[in-house]
Each structure stands twice: as structure tokens, then as C-alpha cells.
Structure 1
Amino acid sequence: MGSKLAAGVLRRVTAPRVVRHRAAARLIRGLAAAPLLPAGARSSLARRLRAGMVRAGWPAAESRAALVAVAGGVDPAARADLLAHEAADEIAEGRTPAHLTAAVSADLAEADRAYARGDGEAAARRLHRVLHTQFHRVIHFDQLSSPLMDDPAAFLAPLHDSAVGRALLTPRGRRQPAAPPPTDRPQRVLLLLNGSAHFVHAIRERYAAHPGVELRYVRLDDDPVAGPLIRQSRRMTAEALLRDTGYGRQVEAWLRPHLDWADTVFVDWAVATAVMVGLVDPGDTRVVVRLHSYEAFGRWPNLIDFSRVDDVVFVSEHLRDFTLRVAPGLTGAHAPRTHVLCNAMDLAPFARPKDPAARFTLGLVGTSAVAKDPRWAVEVLRLLRATDERYRLLLVGGGIDTGLSRAARDYAAELEAELAELAPSGAVTRLGHTDDVPGVLTGVGVVLSSSVRESFHCAVVEGAASGAVPVVRDWPFFAGGEHGARTVFPADWVVGTPAEAAARVRAVTADEQVWRAAGEAAAKHAAATWDWSVNAQCFDSLLGIGRV
């Protein structure tokens, strides 16, 4: 009976629209109530049913409702698996699952049950899946909005209110506080990094040559022991939850000699490296972690034990504001000190003569991420060219990385369609990756920030240092808050809409003398505010290093 009913449902949901709306809903209800359909078969059928409905063009809400109805007779663990797989399917299609909260909550409930009965392995496995699902890049990075940004408390409530979430966030603390910097010898600084080294070049060069510092630089991805460990995210999650696992002991064995040597550990990027450091009691070694932006929208703030971190460095006030809302470990009795220090930037190479023809060239440097939203820059260009076809747009960088997700590919396809319309007129020029950004900027008269979110936006600062006039979108993720683009940059650099951006561009480029004067003022402000010669002493002060 159950199998015949199931077959009938599958036929009907792929039938023409008029049939499915008249009959399929009744069959789905009957199937959900079928007493003869085994639980295992019900789970399998629910997924087949959902897939068939999607292929047949059913509205997403109706196909999800059918899945939930058929899965209703499945035991809670199987239902949690079903919802998690469904969420993964939605994410693979480049969408934020409409039932994300339900899927996460169901998995966490099963993790809590496993944790309560002493099955740590099962609890950790489900927790790892929750973190992977809830903080997937499709949801937070490859679209122009993020539910974490919209309502952090509501988004994080299922995790933070669960037993495994509370256990994960329970501080381990340290046996003794960090010792003050030594006064009778150079301070030993361990610089740890896994990933992009772009933001540590100037820091590394300064302290490698500083007589008051003995520097040790370790890239974990190049280390024969740490490299394999840092790629074991499941074991990392299990150690953070359960503590004293084999993984934790391996990390301890690798990291302890470094901690015994160092007076200060500086971890760039609050990602897996910072998680590993937090798994080990640092003794009296001071731990400093720098968080850029990406990390705040990922799972890392929920895995790092901030009670073993002394200082967290942010590159902007608005990033600190947001991260304190999503990372419970950054507030409370065991929280580290927090600081705002801008990125270390050597701006001198950007001070080059500007080509007069650059006045009508808009430059967007860095287009690899959806969050950069180059389509916003294209809209600004269209508005400008509607009255003056001398304006053109230069896109610098490799373009959207379409290998990251379906969502990124969808955005890239929309961008390509717009660029294809403008390319024949020469309105848009694309320059791939270049190692000579200062040289490229000599031909840029206006530097744009079109992003939906930024923590700082070095490309704008470099453009300003070159004498290009900055036009900065009021980054939507942070617009309206106490801090944002308008507190990072001078207020007259920041605009709210493409129309406002076009109006600012016209105003500063209408006359060459006006354009050059605005560019010179921007360059002077950039050099006085963000150059490494100004800010290096701030890092010295943070680390407790005396001046040369």
C-alpha cells in the first residue's frame, strides 16, 4: 500500500502544473499518514520527492512543506539528517536554505542528546556539521547579504542556547597570566600565520630588523607537523568541544616548544591557527590575535578559546562592534583586551605622477569576491556615461572566483552579461592580477569602493595615496551603525547610492584643477593617517617593544 502510494505521489509531482495542484497535495498528505511505509523508506522517499518537485518547478515553500510532511513519521535523528541533507542541497544550488534554522536546531538537539548520554564522538560530528552548514560561504560570502548581519542574536540562538554550544564556549582559562615583556634581552616574538601573508609583510620586516626583537616566523601550512593538523577541522571541533582528545595532545606537542620560547605570540587571522593556539594553555606567554573581517562571518569565533588570548586586534571600529555581537568569548570576565589598529601599509610607492588622461577613469581594484559587488560600480559608470562618454571603468584583479560556489557563479554570470554590453564601446577595461598596483593607479583618476562590506579597504587607501579621488559606498552591512565607512574615511568620500556616487565623480572631475586638488588632498590624508611610518609605533606599543 505504502509503496504504491509513494509511486503515485512521485508520478503526480512531476506531472503538468494543473494536475499537481489538484491531486498531488492530497497524495502527499496520504503518504505522510501511511502507516505501512517503513521509516527508512520514508526518509529516502522524502528526498526523492523533494528533488522531483524541484525539477518539476514547484514553489520552494511547497516542496519543503512536502518534505517535512513525509518526514514527519521519521525518528528525530533521521529527521535531523534529512533536514541537514536538504540544507546542503539548497546551498549547493547557491541559495540560503529557507529551513536553515530548523535544520540547525534539529541537528543540535541530536548533538545534545548524544552529549548527554556520553557519546562525544556523535555530538562532535553533528556539531561540526552544524558549524559547516550555518556558516557556509554561500550564506555569508557569496551573496550580497547575510542573515548573521541582519539579526546576529536570532541567527546564533540555536547554537548558543544548545548544550554543545554552551560547552564549546565554556572558557578553559590559563594557569597563570602573561608575563610582562623582558627588559634584559630582546623580546621573542612568534609570528604565526596560515593563509594570506599580504597583511604581515611590513610587520615581519620591521621586527626582523628591530634590535629589541628576536623574531620567529612560522607558516603553519608549510610546517610538516602543523600543516596536516590544521587541515583536520573535524578533529579540531571535537577537541574544542570534548577536550583532551588525541588531536589536542598532538597540537600541544607541536606548539609547546614554540610557546616555551616565545614571550609573545602574534597570530594573524582569527581562523584555524587561532583555534589551535587556544587549545593549549600558553603558560606565561602573551597571545595576540588579529581579526580582519572574513573570520567574523565564519565559524571561527565559536571555536577560539578567547580566555587564552590576551589581546585581539581589529582593523576598524565597526568590525570590532560587529564581532563583539557574534563572539560571546569577547565579552565577560574572561574576555581579552581589544584594540583597533589599521593595517600596516607602505604608501610611499603609490606617490607617482598622475596621467592627465586618468581623470575620467574609475578604478576598482580587487574583484574576486561577490562582496566587492562590481555590479554597483558598473551602475555608477552607466549613470556617468549617460551624459559623458569619456568616463570608463578599469577593473583590476582576477574577477569573481566561480569555483567557490553556485552563488558566486550566478553573480559572475550577471556581471559578465552587463560587461558584455559595455565592452564594445570601450567603456570597460579588465586587467587581471598585477604585481604593479602603483603603476596601474597612475592611470586611475577616481578609486571606487563598491563593496557591501569591508573592514578597512586597503585598495581605497592605496588609490587615495596615488592621488586618485576616493568614492566609497556606504557599505550596506554596516551603514546606519555607530561606525562604518563614514568613520573609517572622511565623510565627503562616502556616498549612499550609485546616483550619489556619480554626482561626486562629476563634481570632482569636471575641472582638471579641481580633480588634481582633490586627489592631492586625498593623498595627503592617506599618508598622514595610514602610512606604516605613522602606525608602526602603535604596533610597538601594543607589543611592548621599545623604540629603536
Structure 2
Amino acid sequence: MSYGIRAEPHRDDPTRKENDMLTPAPRRAWVATKRRLRTVAPPGTARHRAGTAVRRYALHLASGWRADARLLLAAAGADLAAGQLPRRLPEAVRAATERADTRLRGGDAPGAAVWLARAGSMAFHRVVHFDRLSSPLAESPTEFLAPLHDSDAVRVLNARARREPAAPAPSGRPLRLLIATRGNANFLSEIRRHYEAHGRVDVRYLDLAADPARAHLTRDSTRMIAHILAGDSAYGRAVEDWLRPHLDWADTVFVDWCAAPAVMFTMIDPGPTRIVVRLHSFELFTIWPQLVGFARVDDLVFVSEHMRSLAVAALPQLSAATAPRTCVIPNAMRLRGFARPKPPEARFTLGLVGYDAVAKDARWAVEVLRLLRSRDDRYRLRIVGGAPDLGLSAAARAYHQRLGHDLVELERQGAVSRTGRTEDVPAALTGIGVIVSSSVRESFHCALVEGAASGAVPVVRDWPFFAGHGGGARALFPSDWVVNSPAEAAELIIEQTATEERWRRAGAAASSHAIATWDWPVTRSLLDDLLIGAATADG
């Protein structure tokens, strides 16, 4: 999956047949190699495609040919199809961006867009950042993204400015607030309810995925790139026709998720309308923020400090003179309803809410459980949430198969239970006495905070993705919630659950901290200050 990247047919399309690239002698060798491959794996299978590209690239190296973007991308694609991080991924991305620059210098914006889209589909492939337990972008954002940021074409993408600054908030009438997203309103319920009931705010809600005639415009990043590079296109005019009436109506546009809608709202000049974008987490590991015209964004909202720190390192636009203001506002949550009585037996029940993504790294929690049970077999693990999708990639499938074997073994011992999805998370948490965050990457981890609010003792892995960016979990949570290893987690749990009295006291302290720090009234005041100003925040 390439997160919306789609290369349009073009005379310089990298998917042209490999035979067309080769001189006669290498072509004969390649044809012979392809014949042999047919006996290795059935045609059309992932294994056959991977072997084809790997052997083609090996032949390329052995013959001493100049590194070619098509061959580098094919080899990288083969590794990704096999669930592996390509060894020469930066070289492949740079070769593609150089092709894009060449096309752009020749006045061919659509051709440049195809090559930038190919570069993005490799650099931000899910195997690179989502289906492994580490990410080169998180480890070294400047170095990893250099092949993109060194590109002249990418600099053109980032060169957009707005014709006029955003107008001040109106006086004498309600503020007109447009809330926009695309198919994901998970973090908007409280915000919408609040402002729809606010006496001094008029609200419109726009879900770009809900328009069957236009939703396809949100998925075509190649055409987005081509429009930005060219400055005009039929695609761009279609986006303008769709969004301009909303921009003309609104005083402020709040775009949730720094993804396709944020690109589209900054593809066209916003005029005097104020643009506010909220970035959560996953977006930063996709192409979308690289395409946003941040000079046309007035405020960029993060849900945690470590996400802001990593974004500044990954997006040069955020350090430019035209950069938007940035702020940190936690996700909107009503937490008081989670504080419910827990039975005594919950003391020995660890809880993990959500395990469908590799980034949740449920195997870390399993290791904690094993360490606990080596000392006291009363400890159990309860997993709440839907099952993983084994079809996402070879890398994700391999991880979840290993996890599945772990869980089946422990289920046979009565040590693990899986409850599936639930619409009543507060009720599910009453039976959980220790809430675990085992993730390698989180922007905020609402499920962990909800568990703490319920009175469960929080145990938080120091999320490895963010160890060097703003402190990660240690900067967000009290230090006595955070651990470095499964062994430290087990020791903390043994200590905090040593007696029922101690466990309940620790859980009550966690609940008080969570509600005082992140409950909706706290977040609401921060959002009011941002979106409508303190003078009108009396709704």
C-alpha cells in the first residue's frame, strides 16, 4: 500500500518494460534469466515478482551499468514486497527525484509529478515505517528525507505563499468555523458538539470522503503534485470549485489530520480565511505533510510535544520565515466517566487496548506477562480490540503470525483472553487493574490515558520512535509510569500490585492525574483560545 500515491501513465513512466531499457547483450541475458525464473515460482506471485526484480538488479550491478532510477526502484519494490527494508532505498529515492528535477527543468510538470510520486511511494511505503518496529525517519529524519528535500521539484512544492494574511476574528456576528476531515472523525466528536452548541460560533462540517462524485479527488496525489508544480490544471480547478465556496463562507477552517484535505486546502489560495491544521501521528510517516503548503497554514496543532519536535525535524517548511504558529493541545476526551469500581481480582489483570497494528507491539506486553508469571501465575493479560489484518504486507503478516503463536500458547494456559472490539470501553476497563502501553510509536495514546482514568495502574513503554524527539512518553506522562524494558515493567507491576491497598492507592493517584491533566474541560479551554479567542470562549 502506498498511502494514496498513484502514478499516472506517462511516456517516462518507470513501469515500462525492462527490455526497452537494455542494450542488446544485456537484453539477451535478461530474457534468459526471466525464462529460468519461471521454474522458480509461479508467475504473478509476490515471490516471482520479488525474485524478478532482485535478479534484474543483480544483473544490473554485475554488468556495471550506471545506476538507473527504474532499476533501483524495482529492486526496492522487490524488497518491500518481501517485507524487508531496502538496502539502497535512499539511492532509489534520490534517483527518482533527480528524474523529477530533470522533467521539471524541461517544463514537464506531469512527468515530474510521476517521478516524485514514485519517490514518495518508496520513501513512505508502509513496510518502511508502519509494519516494522523501527523507522529510519524517526531515527534520523534529516538524513532519511535528504533525497526528497534536496530536490528542486520538492522546493517548488514548498514555495507556495498566500496573497493576503488571515483576517482577524469578526466582531458583531458569530465566528464561522468549518471543520473538515476525510473519513476519520474519531477525534472530532467532542469538538463538534461543543462548537455546534456554542452561541457565538456557526459550524459547518465537511467530510471530503462523503461526496461520492468528488471523493476521488482526495486520493490522487500525483495530480496534486502536478498541479502544484504547474500552477494550473483541470484537477486544480476541480478542487477549487469544490472548496472555494467553503473557504469564502468560513472565517476559520479546522482541518483534522495533516493528510489529503490539508494538501487540498493549501493547493488553492485561502484568501483571508484562517487555516488551522491538526497533525496526529501517522501522517508524518506518509507523503502528505511533504505536500502541504505550510506558508498558507496559520496554526499547526500537535497532540504532544514529541510529535511537534519530530515534525520540525522532518519538515523544513516549519523552520522557514513563513512557518505557521505551532501549539500542543491534547486530544479531546471525557475521562470522568471512566472512573468506576474495580473488583479485587482486577489487580492481577493487565490490559492492552488495541493490538491490530505492528506499532502496538503486543509481543512486548506478552514478554512482560511471561516475566510476571514466572513469579506469580495469578497474572493475566486481557486484550481488547479487533484482530490484526494479515493482508497488509509481508512484514506485518510475519509479525502478527509470531504474535498469534505467542497468544495461542498463553491462551491454552488460561493466561490470555481476547475480548474483541467493544463500544463500551469504560465497562471493559473495570476488569483491568494494570493498563499497558507497549507501543513503539504513539502520539498521545488515548487508550492508555482512559485506562489510567479508570483507576488502572499505568505502565508505559518509553516509545522507541521518539527517544530523541521531545522526550516521548517521559515528557508526556509522570516518570513513575514509564519504563525502558519488559523487566522494568514487570518490577513496577510487582511493586504496585504487592497488596490490594497499594494497588488501589496507585490507581486512584493515576486517575486523579489523568482527569486533572487531560479531561475535556482542560482541553476545551485550550481549543477555545486557539479557534475563537478568549474573548468569545464563554459558550
Asked whether the 8 Å contact 2:195–2:203 carries over to 1, the reply is yes
399 and 320 in structure 1: CA distance in 2 versus 1, 3 angstrom threshold: same
Residue 317 (str. 1) matches residue 309 (str. 2): no
How many angstroms apart in 1 are the aligned matches of 2:284 and 2:79? 23
Q: Which residue of 2 aligns with 1:142?
A: 131
> Which amino acid is 1:165 matched to?
V
CA distance in 1, matches of 2:474, 2:33: 50
Structure 1 runs not aligned, ≥5 long: 1-33
Aligned to 1:379: 367
Residue 386 of structure 1 deviates from its aligned partner by 0.2
Deviations 1:273-319 (A, max 9, x none): 10000101111000000000001111112100001100000000000
1:11 counterpart residue number: none
Contact between 1:188 and 1:261, CA under 8 Å: does it hold in 2?
A: yes
Do structure 1's residue 69 and structure 2's residue 57 form an aligned pair? no
CA offset at residue 81 of structure 1? 1.4
Q: Write the distance in 1 (CA, Å) between the matches of 2:33 and 2:320.
A: 45
Q: What residue number does 1:121 align with? A: 110
Secondary structure in 2 matching 1:395? strand
Paired with 1:341 and 1:531, the residues of 2 have a C-alpha distance of 12
1:262 aligns with 2:232: no
1:80-119 equivalences under 5 Å are: 80-119=69-108
Q: Would the aligned equivalents of 1:194 and 1:219 in 2 still touch at CA under 8 Å? A: yes
Contact 1:301-1:326 within 8 A present in 2 as well: no
Contact 1:46–1:67 (8 Å) recurs in 2: no
1:240, distance to aligned residue in structure 2 (A): 2.8
Q: Give the deviation of 1:481 after TM superposition.
A: 4.2
C-alpha distance 386-504 of structure 1, shift in aligned 2 (>3 A): same
In structure 2, how many angstroms separate the alpha carbons of the residues matched to 1:195 and 1:140? 22
Secondary structure at 1:37 match in 2 = helix
**Are the counterparts in 1 of residues 169 and 175 from structure 2 also a CA contact under 8 Å?**
yes
Question: What is residue 474 of structure 1 aligned with on the other side?
Answer: 462
- Which stretch of the first structure deviates more once superposed, 153-162 or 494-503? 153-162
Instruction: Work out the CA distance in 1 between the residues paired with 2:116 and 2:263.
Output: 16
Q: Does 1:424 align with 2:418?
A: no
* Structure possessing the higher relative contact order (Cα contacts under 8 Å, 6 or more residues apart): 2
Kept after mapping to 2: 8 A contact 1:453/1:476: yes
Q: Distance in 2 between matches of 1:263 and 1:418?
A: 53
Equivalent residue, structure 1, for 2:7? none
Q: CA deviation at 1:59?
A: 12
2:407–2:416 Cα contact (<8 Å) kept: yes
Cα distance change on mapping 1:333 and 1:35 into 2, 3 Å? closer
Counterpart of 1:105 in structure 2: which amino acid? R
- The verdict on how the C-alpha distance between 1:49 and 1:376 changes in structure 2, with shifts beyond 3 A counting, is farther
Deviations 1:88-115 (A, max 9, x none): 1211111111121221122222222222
- The answer for the alignment partner of 1:524 in structure 2 is 512
Q: Distance in 1 between matches of 2:35 and 2:225?
A: 32
Conserved in 1, the CA contact under 8 Å of 2:177 and 2:250? yes
The correspondence of residues 115-264 of structure 1 with structure 2, limited to 5 A, is 115-170=104-159, 172-264=160-252
Task: Kindly provide the CA deviation profile for residues 213-257 of structure 1, in whole angstroms up to 9, marking residues without a partner as x.
Answer: 100001110024441211222212222333211111111111110
Aligned residues with identical type, % of pairs: 55
- Tell me, in whole angstroms, the C-alpha distance in 2 between the residues paired with 1:409 and 1:419: 15
Residue 504 (1) aligns with residue 496 (2): no
| CA shift digits 1:428-464 (9 cap, x unpaired) | 0011111011000000000000000111100111001
Q: Please state if 1:359 is matched with 2:347.
A: yes
TM-score of the aligned structures, taking structure 1 as reference length:
0.89
Higher mean alpha-carbon deviation, 150-159 vs 261-270, is at: 150-159
Aligned length: 509
Match of 1:348 in 2: 336
Distance 1:439 1:272, change over 3 A: same
- Structure 2: tracts of 5 or more residues without a match: 1-21, 42-46
| 2:389 maps to amino acid | D
CA contact (8 A) 1:43 1:82 kept: no
TM-aligned CA deviation for residue 416 of structure 1:
0.7
Please give the root-mean-square deviation of Cα atoms over the aligned residues, in Å. Answer: 2.4
Q: 1:402 to 1:243 in 2, by over 3 A?
A: farther
What CA distance in whole angstroms lies between the structure 1 residues aligned with 2:54 and 2:207? 49
Shift of 1:350: 0.6
Residue 398 of structure 2 corresponds to residue 406 of structure 1: no
1:214 partner SS: strand
1:301 paired residue number: 289
Equivalence for 2:453: 465
Secondary structure of residue in 1 paired with 2:352: strand
Q: CA deviation at 1:53?
A: 9.2
Query: Does residue 441 of structure 1 match 2:419?
Result: no
